[in-house]
Chain A
């Protein structure tokens, strides 16, 4: 008897529940969703993941472009002031100009000379003209050499070798300058005495070259 009542109740409730479910129209998927589903079934891979990969690729490409632009601007040149000099640093060399020549002579009015060590002979001297931007002297003693140049400050525009070489600050007779160790006892020194800029190159060692640079004086 109990079982029959239970069965009757269950049936009645089941029927009532089903009757109470509201009638809704069959769901129609959107065209985009259907297309995605078809693609998914074809490829057997989730569409959403594929989309993320492409997006990632585009983002990576954009980041690479930004990085390349940044690198290109960095590799190009670094401009900076170094004491009395204006410098542009490149990978292989540095372009150096005078940072202030407003009160300096516009031509070589006074010639400066250096005191070269015994045994050195002058083998070249530039001719001096009104327009001369600089005047150079070459000295030689067997395999040793000295190159001395006096520049009009406004015309000082030199590319110096800084490929694997470091440019360091130096004072010559109290004037600001820089020195480059070129290796094999060769050095390049340049300094600004306020009136002119000088440079001196030689393979006589650092100390000897500094002594020679400090011997600079106006020619009589």
Chain B
């Protein structure tokens, strides 16, 4: 009987964990955000990072942080000097930055936008395709 009870509680724990993961995955909202892009281009050892977020007509401000990340094993590590932040008091935010002297490897650009509608806000993350340097 102990075996059965253990299996039952193990199943309960697994279901709870899965529900938590699912809830985290759908946490981002698109209440005011119309579109978001995060594009990485690497040419001759230089990374060109371009991100844009557009909000609907009720948006008052957009903030963003660009993270240039390099793949290390199965993890992504922020590149030193490859983090930039920007802000715009309009419904569109465009950000362009570059990082030269990249070492070989696989890179991506992760951009986290915070879109404001007055005192309300939502966070949207956009990750670029992976690019080899």
Please report A residues at the B interface, Cβ cutoff 8 Å. 54-55, 57-58, 61-62, 64-65, 68-69, 71-72, 75-76, 90-93, 124, 126-127, 129-134, 136, 138, 143, 145, 147, 149, 155, 157-163, 182-184, 186, 188, 199, 201, 203
Contact = CB atoms under 8 A, between A and B. Distances in A.
Which label, helix, strand, loop or mixed, suits the secondary structure of the B interface? mixed
Query: Chain B: interface residue count, which band?
Result: 35 or more
A160 B34 contact: yes
B36 interface: yes
Contacts of A57: 4, 8
A92 B26 CA distance: 7
Nearest to B91: A145
Interface in B56-93: 56-57, 91-92
B114 interface: no
19 contacts: A57-B8, A61-B7, A68-B15, A76-B25, A93-B28, A131-B41, A134-B52, A145-B91, A147-B92, A157-B38, A158-B35, A159-B30, A159-B124, A161-B33, A161-B35, A163-B29, A182-B56, A183-B56, A188-B34
Given A145-B57, A188-B34, A124 B92 contact: yes
Contacts of A199: 35
Contact of B43 (A61, A92, A131): A131
Contacts, number: 114
B117 to A, nearest CB: 13
Contacts of A91: 26
Interface string B94-116: 10100000000000000000000
Given A58-B8, A184-B57, A72 B37 contact: no
A126 B94 contact: yes
Contacts of B7: 58, 61
Given A90-B26, A126-B94, A136 B56 contact: no
